[in-house]
Structure 1
Amino acid sequence: MRIGIVTQSYYPRYGGVTEHVHHTAVELRRRGHEVTIITGRFRDGDEERHEQGVERIGTNIMVPFNRAFIDFTVGFSLRQQLRRLFHTYNFEVLHTHSPNAPSLPVLAVQEAWCAQVGTFHTTAGRSLLQDLFCGYLARTTIRRLDRSIAVSKTAEASTRLYYPGDYRVIPNGVDVERFHPAVEPIERWQDPEFINLLFVGRLDPRKGLQYLLAAMPEIVEGTAGRARLLVVGDSYLRTRFEAQVTPALRGHIHFLGHVPSADLPRWYATGDIFVSPASGNESFGIVLVEAMAAGVPVVATDIPGFTVDEAKDHLGSRLMLPPWLEPRRAQLMQHLSPIRMPAA
């Protein structure tokens, strides 16, 4: 089957949607389908390593939305380029990610003439602007989808506010052959004198790194100087976060920036505790699943997007530990207890 996948989030920009798209394409190809990913170009990115079966049109820029920065594809002839690609590949199915997002996804849904699937990744509250814009999209675009998918019940509930209909919840998955407890850690950061707290993700405001940084003085003091925070990820806000670190803590907080995707499992293996202090508007939290697959204890905030829907079990306000680490729960929780979120 000839399948097209449209996404504004793709390599070299790492993130949950990027990984979702990549692994979906890999699995579909493994099953014998012809898959082409349609996405934007990056002005300063290393795209060559990810170009198998990829068509790039327009240019991706970063724009603020939903207390984060998202990719937004711009170009003077996106609609015409999409039409040309659709004629060239003659897709039998088009799968658009975030089909309610301008500009590339919306244009793709409007221009396609084949069977269409849309996956909704976003959790956001209501606003007047969205009320006006989403009403237009519901009438002109979303109704063209033959099937609708949400990555979590939280994402489904948020999407239903604007686009009523039938949704199938298909959670994000991770490659357990890649993320598993037997992966070798990064030797440089292995030191029995330190407890490695690991943060992985884009440095967006809603990811909550600022709250973890604010808690670090008390965490370091409470662990007799043993706590060390490793920050894997980057964004335009990195310098602002770095400025939050006092001279006394510079030996305990390390900003590592973007790391190669191939090395990410080793970073999880390097962490003693994975921490995700996100403050809201999260649909799933794929980094939590990666950490758990790697066998790393997880501390996460109690927000709807971090709820394990089917099990009705919360990651927030407590530790999710593999059985062999359960006896250390009280000790580990004490280490992270100073993290405080602002009142809602």
Structure 2
Amino acid sequence: MKLLIVAPEQIPVPPPYGGSVENCIYQIARQIKGNHEVTIVSLHRKSLPRTTKIGHTTIIRVDGGSRSTYLRNAMQRVKANRYDLIQVDNRPSFIHTVKKAFPTTPISLFMHSMTFVSRPMTTTRKAASDLKGASLIIGNSQSLKRTLSSKFPEHKHKIKFVHLGVDLNKFHPSHSKGHKPFHVLYAGRLIPRKGVPVLMKAIKIARKSDPSIRLSIAGGTGNPTYKGYLRRTARGLGIPVSFKGNLSRSRMPAFYRSGNCFVCPSQKHEAFGLVNVEAMASGLPVIASRNGGIPEIVQHGHNGFLIGAYAKPGAFASQIIRLAKDPGLTRRLAKQARIDAVHRFGWGQTADKLIQIYEEQLRR
């Protein structure tokens, strides 16, 4: 199979930092086995070559500037080639232009969240119209599949799901981890929906039971005002918080290994929650909101804890205290978290399932 993947317009593949979608594209492409040829068209940055070849994967990088300029340059660069299937990642609005360039080639839309089929990015009517051009729609969780099917029932028959994965060699447990001080981690974008203030308030409560508890936060924001608000919140609560900033992908494995547990306090629908899988692969029990696709990853009392009342800091605090006071429980959940990541969430499994879906589509 000759597969073309059209990446979004904001960050190159592979991403130097952040870029969850771009990282997924890169990791999945590298794990595709057999005689398949993969071409990724992505944004160009000065530090990167125009073309990179890794095994059976070719990454072509084009200039951006705006979404329409990037897409025009991308199609101009690849339109002379023939592909069996084209995957568009997270940009339903690209489908019309891609279809125009490749009128007879099936298009798969790989969705990573509801962001680009919802306001303020688009209207339901426009999104439904965009989806018409897709032969397949892939969600990254059963939850996202259900949510897309509910919002766009006319497209329900072509919606599938494939869980994302983690690099199990890079993300692995630490071999020497003391109990004190008890180190809680958060990684993700610093935006209101991620619930970082809820976590900070939970740390304030938990420290009354165990004053050794501290918090480290990795992640950036396009809004300096919000980051300032988070810093002021931490100072006002009088809790030890270390803001690590936007760590490069190469530094994230060490960040996870520095902690005793990971907390994901998302306040809105979380389609998958890749950070939870990365934390589990790193041998951390995860405390997360019972929300969206997260319960497909975190199993309560088995490899972590799920919080139903996720708007309440006390609900997170009680489970943080539980782990801080019981090293045996923390070790047991941590060990199981790693086992589950290895058995269920390797990138090879993601790539295999995706290719299986595509081969079935082409046989039809």
More helix by share: 2
1:118 aligns with 2:103: no
Residues 119-147 of structure 1: CA deviation (Å, up to 9, x unaligned): 1221369769622222332xxxx233333
CA distance in 1, matches of 2:156, 2:180: 54
* Aligned amino acid, residue 21 of structure 1: I
Q: How does 1:1-344 map to 2 (within 5 A)?
A: 1-8=1-8, 10=13, 11-28=15-32, 31-41=34-44, 47=48, 52=53, 53-59=58-64, 73-75=66-68, 77-78=69-70, 80-100=72-92, 102=93, 104=94, 107-113=97-103, 114-123=105-114, 130-137=123-130, 142-160=131-149, 161-162=151-152, 163-181=155-173, 183=174, 193-224=180-211, 226-237=212-223, 238-246=227-235, 249=238, 252-308=240-296, 315-317=305-307, 327=329
CA distance in 1, matches of 2:87, 2:118: 26
| Residues 185, 215 of structure 2: 8 Å contact kept | yes
| Residues 179, 260 of structure 2: 8 Å contact kept | no
- 1:46 to 1:247, Cα distance in 2 relative to 1, 3 A: farther
TM (norm. structure 1) is: 0.73
* Aligned amino acid, residue 118 of structure 1: L
| Residues 6, 94 of structure 1: 8 Å contact kept | yes
CA distance in 2, matches of 1:234, 1:211: 18
CA distance in 2, matches of 1:39, 1:110: 19
- 1:285 to 1:79, Cα distance in 2 relative to 1, 3 A: closer
| TM-aligned CA deviation for residue 290 of structure 1 | 1.3
Query: Aligned residue for 1:66?
Result: none
Q: Which has the higher contact order (CA 8 A, sep 6+)?
A: 2
Residues 230-275 of structure 1: CA deviation (Å, up to 9, x unaligned): 111111233332232217736x100111222122222111110101
Equivalent residue of 2:146, what SS?
Answer: helix
Query: Aligned residue for 1:69?
Result: none
Aligned residue-pair number: 299
**Structure 2 alignment gaps of length 5 or more:** 308-315, 335-364
CA distance in 1, matches of 2:87, 2:244: 34
| Residues 95, 116 of structure 1: 8 Å contact kept | yes
- 1:222 to 1:95, Cα distance in 2 relative to 1, 3 A: same
**Structure 1 alignment gaps of length 5 or more:** 61-72, 333-344
| Residues 40, 57 of structure 1: 8 Å contact kept | yes
- 1:171 to 1:109, Cα distance in 2 relative to 1, 3 A: farther
CA distance in 2, matches of 1:266, 1:212: 22
| Residues 194, 266 of structure 2: 8 Å contact kept | yes
CA RMSD of aligned residues (A): 3.6
CA distance in 2, matches of 1:219, 1:121: 33
More strand by share: 1
| Residues 198, 275 of structure 1: 8 Å contact kept | yes
| Residues 15, 202 of structure 1: 8 Å contact kept | no
CA distance in 1, matches of 2:328, 2:158: 40
User: Which segment is superposed worse, 47-56 or 259-268?
Assistant: 47-56
| TM-aligned CA deviation for residue 175 of structure 1 | 2.1
* Aligned amino acid, residue 157 of structure 1: R
| TM-aligned CA deviation for residue 47 of structure 1 | 4.8
TM (norm. structure 2) is: 0.70
CA distance in 1, matches of 2:148, 2:221: 27
CA distance in 1, matches of 2:244, 2:73: 38
* Aligned amino acid, residue 40 of structure 2: I
Equivalent residue of 1:240, what SS?
Answer: helix
